[in-house]
Amino acid sequence: MSYQIENVLVIRRSLFDELGAFQGLNFEPEKYLKAILSRGSNFFVGRSEAENNPNYKQIIPYALIAFRKTVLHYVRGKKAGEQRLIAKGSIGVGGHMNEGDESLFAMDEQAYRAGVEREVNEEIKIDTPFEDQIVALLNDDSTDVGRVHLGIVHVFKLTEPKVEKREAMITGLTFLPKKVELNLEVARKVQVMLQAEVEGQVQVRTARPASQMRSCRFASGPPDAK
């Protein structure tokens, strides 16, 4: 796939290996974030280079919008530019971190979180205070696509359920109360998001057996991926 001139945030694969490479979801993000979100560790490279060079891991934030025991669910409608996402339900917002999100060639944690909020704000308007928590990391080295991406899963905990859409492609914006397991649902939703960004398919596996994983329960809509 060819891309317009675009620079995206990456870390070196060697850093990920030094910190402890894993497969699937990892619920110990604090082990990685201090190093990853250090200006000496991350930097911007051309997206075409990042997509094709396994020596880099692109940082992909993905934010779930939660209020109490519900989570925001929406459908991407007919105006969606990515055909694979049309009529697909989603419980999160995310994408590549671009150089325009920060002008100093790299990001510390404060700049990164501000960039994530800007990315979310492009698609939806959150008209209430919220707390941003990073709850997990997602890695998939089983495919060419997965090998060059590292997902950071956020939960925005809202004080009130006041959210409006900004993008015309978003329809059916609502908070749904059906409980699901975070480790299963997030994997499906991040997979869909990555498919919208790059060619190929990401197969998500858990980092540890399900019986050993800590679950975070919150509301969500029905799964949109099998």
User: Is 21 among the domain residues?
Assistant: yes
The pLDDT of residue 208 is above 50? no
Predicted confidence at residue 126, as pLDDT, reads: 96
pLDDT at 185 > cutoff 80: no
Euclidean distance between CA atoms 118 and 112, whole angstroms? 10
Is it the case that residue 31 has pLDDT exceeding 80? yes
Confidence (pLDDT) at 203: 32
Write the CB contacts of 203 (distance below 8 Å, at least 6 apart in sequence): 140, 142, 143, 146, 191
Residue 151 lies in a domain: yes
65: Cβ–Cβ under 8 A, 6 or more apart, which residues? 71, 72, 91, 92, 93, 120, 124, 126, 156, 158, 163
pLDDT at 144: 87
CATH code of the domain containing 100: 3.90.79.10
pLDDT over 60 (residue 162)? yes
Q: How far apart are CA 62 and CA 42, in angstroms?
A: 18
Torsion of CA 113, 118, 119, 125, to 10 degrees: 120
Maximum pairwise Cα distance, the chain: 44
First to last CA, the chain: 25
| Residue 211 DSSP label | G
pLDDT of residue 211: 31
**Is 205 within a domain?**
yes
pLDDT beyond 70 at 217: no
Provide mean pLDDT across the span 3-29.
91
> Per-residue pLDDT for 209 more than 80?
no
pLDDT of residue 74: 86
Chain centroid to Cα 65, Å, comes to: 12
Residue range(s) defining the domain that contains residue 146: 7-219
The answer to whether position 157 is within a domain reads: yes
Q: What is the pLDDT of residue 195?
A: 43
89: β partners: 75
pLDDT at 171: 85
Residues 56-111 have pLDDT tens digits of: 999 999 899 999 888 898 887 654 444 444 445 778 888 888 876 555 556 788 88
Is beta strand 56-67 parallel, antiparallel or unpaired with respect to 93-94? antiparallel
pTM for the full model? 0.74
pLDDT band at 189 (very low <50, low <70, confident <90, very high): low
Mean pLDDT over residues 9-24, rounded? 96
- The set of residues, in sequence order, having a beta carbon less than 8 Å from that of 78 and lying 6+ positions away, is 86, 87, 169
**Inside any domain, residue 1:** no
User: Of 83-87, 105-109, 166-170, 217-221, which range is least confident?
Assistant: 217-221
Number of domains in the chain: 1
The burial class, CB within 10 Å (0-12 / 13-18 / 19+), for 78 is exposed
Q: For the chain, what percent of residues have pLDDT higher than 70?
A: 68
Tell me, yes or no, whether 73 lies in a domain: yes
Per the domain annotation, does 224 fall within a domain?
Answer: no
Cβ neighbours for 73, distance < 8 A, ≥ 6 positions apart:
89, 90, 91, 172, 173, 174, 175, 176, 220, 221
Answer yes or no: is 225 within a domain: no
